[in-house]
A and B are shown apart, each in its own frame.
Chain A
């Protein structure tokens, strides 16, 4: 167990990180992600308010669907990334990072107060009465289907529903942080243990409790950013390779914090870019230096490790624009020695999101 953002969290349960990672991709994993912060914004102006703080076109989302988005600061840097769901015209549900909770709530709260003072109509509720479970992997849907009457085959990636699971009133989102098909289940805290037991039992032991260690390997293999490593206050969504998350209308209109910086970068191209890389030698870790073949500093690794699925070192980091194309070769420095590395398209392991065919 390790302390993490004020919580006590398991790095791993009984299985090793290697076994847990492989089992998630072949069977399934259950993660306790209750440390993450669920938040509802309600009111007739919940969506215009949220759009003033994030890059997504929330208004254009169909009811009951969501997207990944980024909260920006006035310099265009990322305050946090978040999955945001438009429940209805008057209700958005979002999940923000545990490590950013205090900062995010202070940021949203201050802007909401100012917004409401000018006659806005937004209220919020932090879902501290709920726990969050992530069920991921090929057995996620068949296992969950045994506990609900809702037809899960009609629910696609990023869809959201408020439904009964095992008799508990849950918020269900078809999303995750592993690259696999799966769900995040917000469940009343008093039912969380029973739901976890039921899910593990219904899978006949194939879905395993999985800790933070494998969660990090899985998201890295899927090419997903970890806020605090791969995204920071000074990194814009464009630099982070998340321009796709900026809605078309938002690209035209702006209207979010730091829009001037971000829209300019969209036009001119960013100076640095997030890339995936595969390297030889020991696995690079965050802060490993990236140098050109002639030894000149060109960037830094932000996350890295050994991929349990590929049996290779994988990493992501930032390099100067122009050196970001797949196949570009350079070196990463680990404990003073340089090792060959090559820019590799992400995800490293193909993602398996459940989308309409």
Chain B
């Protein structure tokens, strides 16, 4: 089914999938919905992983929440729009929003080009540090992504 394209693609040595090896950073924690958290003291910076941006494709819009509102673990607080699809962004930890990355309004492509740095999305004041224990470390998350891709 639609086989010739795959066969032509493999003949031409190109991949039918945008699968490169995604980067997973060591000192971050990860949620199973593909957000990362960087903890500094009682604040946490949150973004989406390289794996997530790679699956989404070109990000064209990031819907940001407002500073001062609260997010709760596992709950949706915003959205990332790529050319074709919309993805919710969930909070990996609960807390009050201290800062949002306003630069993404002008340059949503930072989420693709620099998912762990310029593409950060929000910063929160962590309300319950114990929640961090339910998140994955880099090794676990890497495996999690491999398994998820394997089932596709």
Q: Which residue numbers of A lie inside 8 Å of B, CB to CB?
A: 1, 6-14, 16-18, 21, 32, 34-35, 131, 189, 192-193, 196-197, 200, 209, 213, 216-217, 281-283, 285, 305-306, 308, 335
Contact, CB under 8 Å: A283 / B9: no
Annotate B1-27 by CB proximity to A: 1 below 8 A, 0 otherwise.
111111111011011111000000000
Also in contact, A209 and B2, with CB within 8 A (given A216-B84, A306-B61): no
CB proximity to A under 8 Å, residues B44-86: 57-58, 60-61, 63, 79, 81-84, 86
A16–B58 contact, CB under 8 A?
yes
Nearest to B152 among chain A residues (CB) is: A1
Q: Are B57 and A335 in touch, CB under 8 angstroms?
A: no
Q: Which of B97-132 contact A (CB under 8 A)?
A: none
Contacting residues, chain A, for B61 (C-beta < 8 A)? 281-283, 306
Cα of A196 to Cα of B6 in the assembled complex, Å: 11
Identify the closest chain A residue to B54 (Cβ): A16
Cross-chain contact of B8 among A11, A200, A305, A306 (Cβ < 8 A): A200
**Which residue in chain B gives the minimum CB-CB distance to A14?**
B14
Cβ contacts A to B, 16 pairs, < 8 Å: A6-B1, A10-B2, A13-B9, A14-B9, A14-B18, A131-B4, A193-B3, A193-B7, A197-B8, A200-B12, A209-B5, A213-B84, A282-B86, A305-B83, A306-B82, A335-B63
- Tell whether, in the assembled complex, residue A213 and residue B86 are in contact, meaning their CB atoms are under 8 Å apart: no
Which 8 A-B pairs rank lowest in CB-CB distance, beginning with the nearest?
Answer: A32-B5, A306-B60, A193-B4, A18-B58, A196-B8, A192-B4, A17-B83, A14-B14
Distance A244 CA – B83 CA, assembled complex (angstroms)? 31
Q: Are B5 and A18 in touch, CB under 8 angstroms?
A: no
Closest approach, in angstroms, between the C-beta of A315 and any C-beta of chain B? 13
Report the separation of the CA atoms of residues A43 and B91 in the bound assembly, to the nearest whole angstrom: 64
Interface set of B (CB-CB < 8 Å, partner A): 1-9, 11-12, 14-18, 57-58, 60-61, 63, 79, 81-84, 86
Report how far A7 CA is from B82 CA in the complex, Å: 24
B5–A14 CB distance below 8 A: no
Take A16-B57, A197-B11, A217-B84 as given contacts and tell me if A1 and B16 are in contact as well, using a CB distance cutoff of 8 Å. Answer: yes
Cβ of A197: which chain B residues have Cβ within 8 Å of it?
8, 11-12
Contact among B4, B11, B14, B16 with A34 in the assembled complex (CB-CB below 8 Å): B4
B7 contact set on A, CB distance < 8 A: 193
Q: Give the distance to chain B from A306, nearest Cβ to Cβ, in Å.
A: 4
B60: chain A residues at CB < 8 Å are: 283, 306
B89 to chain A, nearest CB (A): 12
B8 touches A209 (CB 8 A): yes
Closest to A3 in B: B1
Measured in the bound complex, the distance between the Cα atoms of B14 and A175 in whole Å is: 28
B86 contacts which of A8, A189, A216, A285 (Cβ < 8 Å)? A285
Docked CA distance A195–B14 (Å):
17
Which residues in A have their C-beta under 8 angstroms from that of B17? 1
Name B81's contact: one of A11, A193, A282 (CB within 8 Å).
Answer: A282
> Which residues from chain B contact A8 at a C-beta distance below 8 Å?
1-2
Given A7-B1, A13-B15, 12 further pairs, Cβ under 8 A: A13-B5, A16-B58, A35-B2, A193-B8, A196-B8, A197-B11, A200-B12, A283-B60, A283-B81, A306-B82, A335-B63, A335-B79
In the complex, are the beta carbons of B83 and A18 less than 8 A apart?
yes
Closest A residue, CB atoms, query B84? A213
Please, how many angstroms separate the alpha-carbon atoms of A193 and B139 in the complex? 41
Interface contact B9-A306, CB-CB below 8 Å: no
User: Which residues of A are found within 8 Å of B5, using beta-carbon distances?
Assistant: 10, 13, 32, 196, 209
Docked pose: A35 CA to B4 CA in angstroms: 12
Considering residues B17, B57, B83, B86, which has the most beta carbons from chain A within 10 angstroms of its beta carbon? B83
Residues B2 and A32 in contact, CB atoms below 8 Å apart: yes
Kindly state the separation between the CA atoms of A11 and B81 in the bound complex, as whole angstroms.
Answer: 16
B84 touches A13 (CB 8 A): no
What is the distance, in angstroms, from B82's C-beta to the closest C-beta of chain A?
8
Q: How far is A6 from B2 in the complex, measured between Cα atoms in Å?
A: 11
- Find chain B residues with CB under 8 A from A14 CB: 9, 14-16, 18
Contacts of A216 in B (CB 8 A): 84
**A306 to B83, Cβ gap below 8 A?**
yes
Give B57 Cβ to nearest chain A Cβ, in Å: 5
Residues of B within 8 Å of A131, CB to CB, are 4
- Chain A residues with Cβ below 8 Å from B57 are 12, 16-18, 213
